[in-house]
Amino acid sequence: MSLNVIALGGNAILEKDPSDQAQKETVQKAAKYIADFIESGEQVVICHGNGPQVGNLLLQQKAANGEKNPALKLDSCVAMTEGSIGYWIQNALSNEFLRRNIEMPVVSMITQVRVDEEDPSFKNPTKPIGPFYTKDEAVNETKDGSVFKEDAGRGYRKVVPSPMPQEIVEKKAVQQMVAGGILPVCAGGGGVPVVLKEDRFEGVEAVNDKDFSAKVLAENIDADQLIILTGVDNIYINFNTPKQKALETISVSEAESYISEGHYAAGSMLPKIEAAIAFVKNNPRRKAIITSIENLKRIKEGAGTTVVSG
């Protein structure tokens, strides 16, 4: 039995229809694949993204902002979406386990992730959140001081600071849940970013990258595998060109070489590969797999792209 941290992308949950019901239905489909994986004998901890969801929540906060109903800050919005998406996953898995007679409690927990107050990202926001805009729409949205950047050729999105996660504050609670046969859903949206100031943690205006938080979570609980689920079956080089090639098993050195050759966009596949490299580097026991959720049950057969030490 291996201990696996599964990172489920926020864009995979919100595909086209941003309604509450549509996102729940997408999570219900994902729950079936995760349950299959667990039935194969694997231990699982789940974390998830929230980029589209927290961006949409910020728009709602902005639209309703007023003296009697002031908009909440970004760290609170991250916690709110961590709670809502965590509930969807918890509910979907609990129902799937009930149908299969799997006796495994599922608990979603609001997770704080410690970051460095001096992280350079606070001066250079890069993390895209929320919906896509045309260039003209993005220019109009910058009037409130928001920063927009093009996201992998798909349009413009608001960007916010994304400091590098350092530690899962509740890591011992996660370990205790796993030891007790509980499936934790944690570090949602990368977790709520907090800085340690003397004797207290304080939330900051930022969004942690889900893939890097998943990597830190996997390290903190000594997981065997980090599984990053995305919209494609494999990592590719020369993507969307006649020379496109799916990668299967690659070493750290090969992955780093592909990064240096510029194969991956900063706001898309790059953080997934960097997180995979950081997790397995100098540790032959560990594996990192990047693939689609449909391929989850086929990972043991070699599906997806596996990054190994070397």
Tokens of 70: 């002031």
| Dihedral over alpha carbons 173, 197, 55, 189 (to 10 degrees) | -20
C-beta separation of 5 from 218 below 8 A: yes
H helices within the chain, ranges in order? 10-13, 20-39, 51-64, 74-100, 135-141, 171-179, 210-220, 252-260, 270-280
| 10 carries an active-site annotation | yes
Which of 4, 9, 10, 189 is an active site residue? Answer: 10
Which of 11, 91, 95, 234 is an active site residue? Answer: 11
Give backbone dihedrals phi and psi of 99, rounded to 5 degrees, phi first: -65, -30
Which of 4, 127, 130, 189 is an active site residue? Answer: 127
Please tell me whether residue 200 adopts helix, strand or coil conformation.
strand
> What is d(CA 121, CA 38) in angstroms, rounded to the nearest whole number?
37
C-beta separation of 192 from 115 below 8 A: no
Tokens of 4: 């696996």
Which of 4, 49, 86, 210 is an active site residue? Answer: 210
C-beta neighbour count of 285 within 10 angstroms: 10
Tokens of 81: 């979406």
Phi-psi region of 215 (alpha: psi -120 to 50; beta: other; left: phi over 0): alpha
Which of 158, 171, 215, 272 is an active site residue? Answer: 272
Residues 6+ apart with CB under 8 A from 209: 127, 162, 165, 190, 271, 275
C-beta separation of 94 from 106 below 8 A: yes
| 238 carries an active-site annotation | no
| 231 carries an active-site annotation | no
The catalytic residue positions are 10-11, 127, 210, 272
